[in-house]
Structures are given as C-alpha cells and as structure tokens.
Amino acid sequence: AISEVPLQVRPYRYVVPSMSDHAYLRADVTLASGTPLLAGRARIFLGPDYLGEASFPLMRVGDGTTLNLGVDPNLSVEWETIQNDREDPSRFSLSSTSRITRVYRASLRLSATARGPVEVVVEEALPLSRDGRIEVKVVQLQPAPLGDEKDLRDRSERGLHRWRLRLSPGATESVRYGYV
C-alpha cells in the first residue's frame, strides 16, 4: 500500500418506491483528514466483499461525495396504490372542479439473513401546484417526513418528501403518503 486515506463513510439504502422495486446501496463519503485525494477510480469493498469500482472527484479535507454501489438484494420494496378516487361535477354543474385523491404505501422488508440493521432513505416526489387554479394538499404522511432545512427546501421547491428508516434483519416498515 502506498498510503491509507481516512474517509468517513455513512452507508445507507436508497429507495424511490414509485420508480423502482429495488433498494440501492449508497454511501456518503467525506475526506476526514490528510492530504487531498486526487480524482480517479477506486475499488470498493464492504468488509471482505468486493462491490465494484467507483469514481471519486478531487476531494480536499472536509469535502464529500455520494457513491452509488448497486442493488442491495437483501431489501425488498413493494409499492401499492391504497386509494385512487376522482370526483367530477355532474354534467349539469357550472363548476369544472374535479377532486382527485391518491394515497400510496411503500413496504420495505429486510431479509432475515441480512448481516445487521440498515438505514434506508425513502424519497418520493408529490405534485406541486404552480397554477393558482389548482390546489394540491399532501395527506396521510406516515411516518412524518424529515424536516431539516434541506428537506424543507426540497419539499417546497420540488415536492420531494424524504423519510429515514432503520430496519433490523427480518423487519418490515411502511411509508404512507398521498395527495388531494
């Protein structure tokens, strides 16, 4: 070995249930100390298991990046529509207002054979209204989504809701969300 590079690594699983039934292993990596890390390829291991290669940007002490490390087969994702209603005015009404209600549930299950508990970040984009004639109300957020400054900004600008869950081997967790 030429040198060892001190990195702070925070692994987690990343899930967007409406887009994919896969959970992706990710890691937020920060250069903790030492000299700058030059940009290039690196071989990535999780314990003794080789995960593949990743590309690192130029990193100075304190800089961070996110590594995408592939699908985690130990975490299953199921997404289902709980409610899908549309109320239209009668044909004799002068109103052209429709009311659409949609509620979804994402169920996550960590295999009983997983090595230990995992952190899971669930993200979903819910509709935002950019037109004063359309009102969108988010409903049935269970559990409550994250609420730090970045999460609140993403929610107001992009409609992005984010949850952080911790699953033990064999455990199942659900996230429920919807809009009217």
| pLDDT tens digits for range 132-176 | 888 999 999 999 999 999 999 999 999 999 999 999 999 999 999
Contact 15, 108 (CB under 8 A): yes
pLDDT at 98: 85
Full DSSP string of the chain? ------EEEEEEEEE-TTT-S--EEEEEEEE-SSSPBPSEEEEEEETTEEEEEEEEPPB-TT-EEEEEEEE-TTEEEEEEEEEEEEE---TT-S----EEEEEEEEEEEE-TTSSS-EEEEEEEE-----STT----EEEEESPPP-SHHHHHHHHHH-EEEEEEEE-TT-EEEEEEEE-
pTM for the structure as a whole:
0.85
pLDDT tens-digit map of 7-65: 898 999 999 999 999 999 999 999 988 888 889 988 887 778 787 888 889 999 999 99
